[in-house]
Amino acid sequence: MTDRDPTTRARVVAALRSQRIETPSWAFGNSGTRFKVFAQPGVPRTPHEKIEDAATVHRFTGVAPSVALHIPWDAVDDYPGLAAFAAEQGVALGTINSNVFQDDDYKLGSVTNPDPATRRKAIGHLIECVDVMDATGSRDLKLWFSDGTNYPGQDSARARQDRLADALRQTYDRLGEHQRMLLEYKLFEPAFYLTDVPDWGTAYLHCVAAGPRAKVVIDTGHHAPGTNIEFIVAALLRAGRLGAFDFNSRFYADDDLMVGSADPFQLFRIMYEIVSADALGPDAGIAFMLDQCHNIEPKIPAVIRSIMNVQEATAKALLVDAEALAAAQQAGDVLGANAVLMDAYNTDVRLLLAEVREEMGLDPDPIAAYRRSGYAERIIEQRAGGQQAGWGA
Q: Give, for all 393 residues of the chain, the pLDDT tens digit.
A: 544 588 889 999 999 999 999 999 999 999 877 778 899 999 999 999 999 999 999 999 999 999 999 999 999 999 999 999 999 999 999 999 999 999 999 999 999 999 999 999 999 999 999 999 999 999 999 999 999 999 999 999 999 999 999 999 999 999 999 999 999 999 998 999 999 999 999 999 999 999 999 999 999 999 999 999 999 999 999 999 999 999 999 998 888 899 999 999 999 999 999 999 999 999 999 999 999 989 999 999 999 999 999 999 999 999 999 999 999 999 999 999 999 999 999 999 999 999 999 999 999 999 999 999 999 999 999 999 888 888 755
Local structure of residue 390 (DSSP, 8 states): B
Residues 6+ apart with CB under 8 A from 356: 13, 16, 17
**Total domains in the fold of the chain:** 1
| Cα–Cα distance measured from residue 379 to residue 348, given in angstroms and rounded to the nearest whole number | 35
Peptide bond before 114: cis, by omega within 30 degrees of 0? no
Q: Answer yes or no: is 139 within a domain.
A: yes
Residue 134: burial class (beta carbons within 10 Å; 0-12, 13-18, 19+): middle
Residue 267 in 3-state DSSP?
Answer: helix
| Cα–Cα distance measured from residue 65 to residue 50, given in angstroms and rounded to the nearest whole number | 14
Predicted local distance difference test score (pLDDT) of residue 392:
58
Predicted local distance difference test score (pLDDT) of residue 256:
87
Q: Answer yes or no: is 332 within a domain.
A: no
Question: Quick one: residue 123, left, alpha or beta (phi over 0 = left, psi -120 to 50 = alpha)?
Answer: alpha
Predicted local distance difference test score (pLDDT) of residue 276:
97
Decide if 169 contacts 210 (C-beta within 8 A): yes
| Cα–Cα distance measured from residue 229 to residue 217, given in angstroms and rounded to the nearest whole number | 12
Q: Answer yes or no: is 62 within a domain.
A: yes
Torsion (CA) 234, 308, 353, 278 in degrees, nearest 10: 20
Decide if 146 contacts 134 (C-beta within 8 A): no
What is the end-to-end Cα distance of the chain in Å, rounded? Answer: 48
Decide if 115 contacts 108 (C-beta within 8 A): yes
Q: Answer yes or no: is 10 within a domain.
A: no
Closest CA to 268 of 222, 305, 226, 233: 233
Peptide bond before 190: cis, by omega within 30 degrees of 0? yes
| Cα–Cα distance measured from residue 277 to residue 177, given in angstroms and rounded to the nearest whole number | 26
Predicted local distance difference test score (pLDDT) of residue 227:
96
Predicted local distance difference test score (pLDDT) of residue 316:
98
The pair phi, psi for residue 19, each rounded to 5°, is -65, 145
Decide if 340 contacts 325 (C-beta within 8 A): yes
Q: Answer yes or no: is 313 within a domain.
A: yes
Could you tell me the residue range of the domain that residue 209 belongs to?
20-322+363-382
Residues 6+ apart with CB under 8 A from 236: 200, 204, 216, 218, 242
Q: Answer yes or no: is 345 within a domain.
A: no
Q: How many CB atoms lie within 10 A of CB 225?
A: 9
| Cα–Cα distance measured from residue 290 to residue 259, given in angstroms and rounded to the nearest whole number | 8
CATH of the domain at 182: 3.20.20.150
Predicted local distance difference test score (pLDDT) of residue 4:
55
Decide if 9 contacts 2 (C-beta within 8 A): yes
Residue 184 in 3-state DSSP?
Answer: strand
